[in-house]
């Protein structure tokens, strides 16, 4: 569905991914393995564009439910892959999935079943970079290289797994998924100072108004 003009959310089996529809298409996250057909069908049928119009794939963090279809989408589109340098070795296959032990075992099984392939990133992001119309904000805590993407014009921010939105409030991920909680709190305090209306989350519905107020309420609870 189109959340606001030019931003489309595609709900996967586990996580959301997003298409930013501009002169070129930018895909933010790819979902679990097997999600590529859903993305490409949306591009063709809803946007009336070619999958090859996706020129950039930005990864908010290295967890399987966000990078599972990355190698397939790279193969289909030829897009450049962008990820924060601190998470790059995970998609290269040089480091194991960072997370709880139970999740690591599941990731290995999924990788074996779907034969996912390592991906060499084309763009190594750092805090303050601009990609498309979005500023990269490094928000470590959930993973070392977690990022948000913020646009000061449409006041939209993509937050990956940093935040969930439920029952009218923003919430943090399960504490087991915040190995660096103090860094996480500092990251969230930084983004709470931005002028935000729209918040696009990795797993829950989007906030389509009043984002700044919700962010301030959230960080006040620390």
pTM exceeds 0.85 for this model: yes
Residue 12: predicted pLDDT: 83
pLDDT digits (tens, 9 = 90+) for 73-109: 999 999 999 999 999 999 999 887 666 666 666 666 5
Closest CA to 148 of 28, 20, 35, 13: 28
Residue 106: predicted pLDDT: 64
Domains along the sequence of the chain with CATH: 2-220 (3.60.15.10)
Q: How confident is the model at residue 168 (pLDDT cuts 50, 70, 90)?
A: very high
User: Does residue 29 contact residue 16 with C-beta atoms inside 8 Å?
Assistant: yes
pLDDT digits (tens, 9 = 90+) for 147-156: 999 999 999 9
Residue range 206-218: mean pLDDT, rounded: 97
**Average pLDDT in the chain:** 93
Residue 114 has pLDDT above 60, yes or no: no
């Amino acid at each position: 569905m189109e959340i606001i003009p030019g931003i489309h959310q595609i709900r996967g089996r586990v996580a959301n991914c997003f298409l930013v529809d501009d002169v070129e298409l930018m895909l933010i996250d790819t979902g679990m393995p097997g999600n590529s057909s859903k993305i490409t069908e949306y591009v063709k049928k809803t946007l009336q564009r070619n999958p090859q119009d996706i020129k950039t794939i930005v990864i908010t963090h290295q967890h399987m439910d966000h990078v599972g279809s990355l190698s397939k989408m790279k193969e289909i589109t030829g897009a450049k892959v962008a990820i924060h340098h601190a998470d790059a070795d995970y998609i290269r296959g040089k480091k194991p999935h960072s997370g709880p032990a139970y999740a690591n075992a599941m990731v290995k099984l999924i990788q074996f079943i779907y034969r996912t392939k390592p991906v060499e990133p084309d763009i190594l992001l750092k805090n303050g970079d601009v990609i498309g119309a979005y500023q990269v904000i490094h928000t470590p805590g959930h993973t070392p290289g977690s990022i948000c993407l913020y646009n000061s014009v449409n006041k939209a921010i993509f937050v990956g797994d940093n935040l969930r939105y439920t029952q009218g409030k923003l919430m943090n991920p399960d504490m087991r998924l915040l190995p660096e909680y103090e860094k996480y709190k500092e990251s969230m305090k930084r983004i709470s100072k931005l002028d935000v209306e729209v918040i696009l989350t990795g797993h829950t519905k989007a906030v389509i108004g009043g984002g700044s107020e919700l962010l301030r309420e959230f960080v006040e609870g620390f």
